[in-house]
Amino acid sequence: MHSYGNRMGNLLTVAALSLGAICAMASLCDHLHVPSPSAHAQVLKISRFRKHRSGDDEVGLELNVSANLQSTFTWNTKQVFLFVAAEYETPKNSINQISLWDRIIPAKEYADFSIHIKNKYRFTDQGNNLQGKEFNLTLCWQVMPKSGRMFADKIVMTRYRLPDKYQ
Ligand SMILES: *[C@@H]1O[C@H](CO)[C@@H](O)[C@H](O)[C@H]1NC(C)=O
Ligand SMILES: *[C@@H]1O[C@H](CO)[C@@H](O)[C@H](O)[C@H]1NC(C)=O
C-alpha cells in the first residue's frame, strides 16, 4: 500500500533523475569536442638590437610562426585570436610580457598556416635591461565562441637570449 506522500516522493525522484541525466548529456556534448591544435614559433633572427633615441632598448626580430588550429573551430566558434609575446624578467617586474605580433583567424580555412614575420609591435624596454637577457616566446590562442565561455591555450618556447652588445 503506497501512501499519497510516498508516490509523490517517487515521482519527484524520477523527475530529478531525468533532469540530472539531461544536464549530464548537455555538458557531455560540450566536452565531446576535444580540439587537438598544433602550434610552433621560433626566433629566426635578431635583426636589430640598439638603444633607441629615447634611451630605451629596442629589439627587432624575425619569427617563424606555424599553427594548425582548425580543430578549435566548431559551429559555435566566432573567431580565434592568436598572439606571440616575449616574456622576460627584470629586477622591477618578475614578468614582462610584450606582444610582438597578432592575428585574428576568422574561419577554419585560415587556421592552418606557416609564415615568416617581423615583429608587428615594438619590442622595447625602459632603460638598458635587455642586454644578454633571456626570454621566452609565448604563442597564445583564444577561442572566442558565439555564446558561452572563451577558451585559451598557449605554448611556450624557452631559453632565447638577446645579444650582450648592441648591433
Ligand atoms: C618555418 O617553420 C616551418 C614549419 O615548422 C618550416 O617548414 C620552415 O622550414 C621554417 N622556416 C624557416 C626559415 O626556418
Ligand atoms: C621561461 O620558461 C621557463 C620554463 O617554463 C620558466 O621556468 C621561466 O620562468 C620562464 N621565464 C620567464 C621570464 O617567464
For the chain, what is the HEC assignment? Answer: CCCHHHHHHHHHHHHHHHHHHHHHHHHHHHHHCCCCCEEEEEEEEEEEEEECCCCCEEEEEEEEEEEECHHHCCCCEEEEEEEEEEEECCCCCCCEEEEEEEEEECCHHHCEEEEEEECCCCEEECCCCCCCCEEEEEEEEEEEECCCCCEEEEEEEEEEECCCCCC
Average pLDDT of every residue of the chain: 86
The percentage of residues in the chain with a pLDDT greater than 90, rounded to a whole number, is: 66
Helix (H, G, I), strand (E, B) or coil at 158: strand
Ligand with smallest separation from the Cα of 42:
1
> Ligand 1 centroid to 64 CA: how many Å?
6
Summarize the confidence of residues 46-68 as an average pLDDT: 93
The pLDDT value given to residue 80: 96
Alpha-carbon gap, residue 148 to 103, rounded angstroms? 22
The pLDDT value given to residue 32: 62
- Ligand 2 binding pocket includes 136 (Cβ within 6 Å): yes
> Ligand 2 centroid to 23 CA: how many Å?
40
Tell me the three cell numbers of residue 100: 610582438
- Ligand 1 binding pocket includes 68 (Cβ within 6 Å): no
Q: How confident is the model at residue 86 (pLDDT cuts 50, 70, 90)?
A: very high
Measuring from atom 7 of ligand 2, which residue has the nearest CA?
Answer: 158
Q: State which amino acid sits at residue 99.
A: S
* pLDDT tens-place string over residues 105-139: 999 999 999 999 999 999 998 877 899 999 999 99
R_g over Cα of the chain:
25
User: To 5 degrees, how large is the angle CA 11–CA 16–CA 22?
Assistant: 130
40 Cα nearest atom in ligand 1:
5
- Residue 9 or 145, more confident: 145
* pLDDT tens-place string over residues 13-33: 555 556 555 545 544 555 566
